[in-house]
């Protein structure tokens, strides 16, 4: 699963590069031809959300989520394991709740053909909505994996996990 998280992270990185090109085209269009790239705002608006969610699973697996070691380095191994377990379970619960709460709005977006933008470019919102659901489910799975590893085993360095 860590390999899948890495692959998804690569997709998000490529997406960021493409967004940089879109922004560059928009800026040059405005400056040189007094003609901005149509739909840049809508593309960016939906892409930022998608990129953020695409990067979540790898951030969870590699321990790159926001945390502090100021106190944890002074805790006993058992207390640290208990705190990490609580954090992993709360993280999983949060992302399961987010996926469940996003399900009906995603279905509604498909049903009504919800989109962003007017005129020449319309961006449908349902792909990003379903992407949020899928990556939230994957993030919940990642947290549950870390919970299981914390109590029942370890993964090798090849699995890409550190500080678990």
Over residues 87-94, the mean pLDDT reads: 96
Which one has a higher pLDDT value, 71 or 37? 37
Q: Give dist(CA 51, CA 16) in Å, integer.
A: 7
Residue pair 161/62 in contact (Cβ under 8 Å)? The answer is: yes
Structure tokens at 2: 């860590």
Q: Give dist(CA 132, CA 50) in Å, integer.
A: 7
Structure tokens at 48: 């930022």
Is residue 112 scored above 70 in pLDDT? yes
Is residue 14 scored above 90 in pLDDT? yes
> What are φ and ψ of residue 116, in 5° steps?
-110, 145
Is residue 156 scored above 80 in pLDDT? no
| Predicted pLDDT at 154 | 65
| Predicted pLDDT at 41 | 87
- Collapsed DSSP state (helix, strand, coil) of residue 29: helix
Residue pair 72/80 in contact (Cβ under 8 Å)? The answer is: yes
Residue pair 79/149 in contact (Cβ under 8 Å)? The answer is: no
| Predicted pLDDT at 155 | 56
Is residue 91 scored above 50 in pLDDT? yes
Q: What is the pTM of this model?
A: 0.83
Place of tokens 């709005």: 105
Is residue 157 scored above 50 in pLDDT? no
In which band, very low, low, confident or very high, does the pLDDT at 153 lie, cut at 50, 70 and 90?
Answer: confident
In which band, very low, low, confident or very high, does the pLDDT at 158 lie, cut at 50, 70 and 90?
Answer: very low
């Amino acid at each position: 699963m860590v390999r899948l998280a890495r692959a998804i992270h690569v997709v998000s990185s490529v997406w960021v590069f493409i967004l940089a090109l879109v922004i560059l085209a928009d800026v040059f269009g405005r400056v040189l031809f007094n003609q901005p790239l149509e739909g840049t705002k809508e593309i960016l608006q939906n892409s930022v959300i998608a990129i953020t969610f695409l990067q979540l699973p790898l951030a969870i697996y590699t321990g790159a989520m926001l945390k502090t070691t100021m106190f944890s380095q002074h805790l006993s191994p058992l207390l640290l394991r208990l705190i990490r377990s609580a954090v992993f379970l709360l993280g999983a619960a949060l992302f399961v709740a987010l996926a469940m709460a996003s399900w009906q709005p995603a279905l509604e977006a498909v049903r009504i053909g919800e989109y962003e933008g007017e005129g020449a470019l319309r961006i449908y919102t349902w792909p990003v909505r379903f992407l949020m659901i899928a990556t939230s489910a994957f993030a919940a799975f990642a947290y549950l994996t870390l919970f299981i590893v914390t109590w029942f085993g370890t993964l090798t360095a090849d699995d890409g996990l550190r500080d678990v």
